[in-house]
Structure 1
Amino acid sequence: MSETTEALRDAEPRARIVATAERLFREIGFQKTTVADIARELRMSPANVYRFFGSKAEIHVAVAGHLMSEVEAAAQQIAFGPGSASERLRALVIGNEKMNAERYLADRKLHDMVEAALDEHWPAIDAHIDRIDGLIESIIAAGMVTGKFAKGDPGLAARLVHTACIRFCHPRLMVEYADRPEPTSAQMIEFCLAALRAGVAV
């Protein structure tokens, strides 16, 4: 059997394990959920779960990766979708805020997993940030080409915008600033758009 065929064969059970783990993390918490719990829900043995994931920690990372991939997919659709660069950048930041709030703020048990990911510096977090930076960069670069934004370094501009808007997409900061209504994400993105049009710092 080729590696490609084997990977395709394993994809479905891996996805079921991740989906089941995510549901249990929401219901009883990621720390309390055991591999035996996941296996029981799937009517398989723990040993069978370990065929696809070497440890419980690998399942944690897979669940986090799945949640972040959904945010990235939505952001990619916005980044390469219709509308002006300003409209797409605005939609990406506000959409990112909404999706992260739905995933990590409304559900405190799932938020605990995010806290652990941040505290333990999971590489998946940095990879997610890099991918969002890249999508923001693509929008800004397009805006520079069309003259909507001043010419400059789109990579630097993307990191500046992402940093300026970090409190609206970073789960920990979203919690810490929940009682501070301003600036809103809409206000911050308008500030960033004004800077991009003026070519400030890029």
Structure 2
Amino acid sequence: MIKNMNTHQTRGPLDHSIRDQVVEAATEHFGHFGYEKTTVSDLAKAIGFSKAYIYKFFDSKQAIGEVICKNRLGMVMDIVNAAIADAPTASEKLRRLFKSITEASGDLFFHDRKIYDIAAVASRDQWPSATAYEQRLHQLIQQIILEGRQTGEFERKTPLDEAAHAIFLVMKPYISPVQLQYNLETASSAAVLLSALILRSMAP
């Protein structure tokens, strides 16, 4: 269930340059001190804006974090889409999906550990950005399954939504910001072994 979908929206004048400036400064500040340890007052002082001025553009710290999280998760999906774009088969798309998303998640979340805090909070508290990311991934998995069924690579007996959700659950320990930190050592081998297991289970 999506929580707080309409409670953390940007507001105030549509001055994108100022909003972008706030987001850029917040990314740097959160990256240095961490998301949960930073208040809007801390942020305002650090970037030279008044707290009231920041609230003209964002109604809360979470609203700022949402933008940063959405940007980061968007980067992951861009990497995944590029990786699978020229895959010759649905099976290869699934392999590349698992491999690219585990690598991209690890790179983006753990090479900048403080920014990872935002993604972890977003996942834990089911922010709209995190929920939308999971929905996009579900849709991509479904598309790959459909393609594989159309080409005869995958079986057709299992309901589509059931198959897609099962694959998502297998992948989740290696893509969820909360869980991936405990699975980094096995992520690379898991991407190969688990995708192979999934493909064998879907063979016609």
TM range (shorter): 0.7 to 0.9
Matched residue of 1:121: which SS? Answer: coil
Higher helix share: 1
One of 5, 25, 29 as aligned partner of 1:20: 25
Task: Output the aligned Cα RMSD.
Answer: 2.8
TM-score, scaled to structure 2:
0.79
Corresponding residue of 1:111: 116
Corresponding residue of 2:203: 197
One of 23, 26, 29 as aligned partner of 2:34: 29
Corresponding residue of 2:162: 156
What is the identity percentage for the equivalent residue pairs of Structure 1 and Structure 2? 25
Contact 2:13 2:56 in 1 (8 A): no
Higher relative contact order (CA 8 A, sep 6+): 2
For structure 1, which runs of at least 5 residues remain unmatched after alignment?
A: 1-6
- The letter for the 1-side match of 2:168 is H
1:171 offset after TM fit, Å? 1.9
Matched residue of 2:38: which SS? Answer: coil
- The letter for the 2-side match of 1:105 is F
Matched residue of 2:196: which SS? Answer: helix
Contact 2:34 2:115 in 1 (8 A): yes
Counterparts of 2:171 and 2:56, CA distance in 1:
41
Matched residue of 2:55: which SS? Answer: helix
- The letter for the 1-side match of 2:25 is T
For structure 2, which runs of at least 5 residues remain unmatched after alignment?
A: 1-11
Contact 1:79 1:138 in 2 (8 A): no
Corresponding residue of 1:100: 105
- The letter for the 2-side match of 1:188 is L
CA deviation digits over 1:153-181, x for unaligned, max 9?
33322211111121211122222234557
1:134 offset after TM fit, Å? 0.3
Corresponding residue of 1:137: 142
One of 58, 61, 67 as aligned partner of 1:53: 58
Flag the 1:79–1:159 CA change in 2: closer, same or farther, 3 A.
farther
Contact 2:123 2:176 in 1 (8 A): no
